[in-house]
Amino acid sequence: MKKVTVSIGVVLILLALFSCTDNYQRHYQLGKWYYDKGLINEAILEFKAATRAKAGNHQAHQSLAIAYTKKGWYDYALKEAETAFDLYPADENYKLIQVIKQKQNLEAIEALELE
């Protein structure tokens, strides 16, 4: 009886792990689709759900940073880009951080010029 209980527990854990990965893919792919269609708010919601479904995946954080940048939400974008870099310290994530910082600085300069 104890072996059956342990076996069932292992099967349930495996199912939970696989469903999380599946759930991540669904949210991530739907986020990409929304982004491609210009539905940035919806894309953000899906990318955020993807980051919750599979913690530690840099792609969802990277995509979320890009979507936030598109909205002009640079503080959020920078946080997500830095998270993506921490998870996957690749050149593309480093460059994303630099681009967001540049956009943030440009917006600050433009705001000063309007005063």
Q: Stretch 44-64: mean pLDDT, rounded?
A: 94
Is the predicted pLDDT of residue 21 greater than 50, yes or no?
A: yes
Structural element, H or E, at residue 1 = none
Residue in the structure block whose two tokens are 């050149």: 91
Structural element, H or E, at residue 50 = helix 40-53
What is the C-alpha separation between 16 and 53, in angstroms, rounded?
11
Pick the CATH number of 2-114 from 3.40.50.970, 2.40.160.10, 3.40.50.720, 1.25.40.10: 1.25.40.10
Tell me the two tokens of residue 105.
């600085």
**pLDDT (tens digit per residue) in 57-73:** 999 999 999 999 999 99
In degrees and rounded to multiples of 5, residue 56 shows phi and psi of 90, 10
- Ordered by start, the domain boundaries in the chain are 2-114
Instruction: Please give the pLDDT value at position 80.
Output: 97
| Global pTM value | 0.78
Q: Stretch 44-66: mean pLDDT, rounded?
A: 94
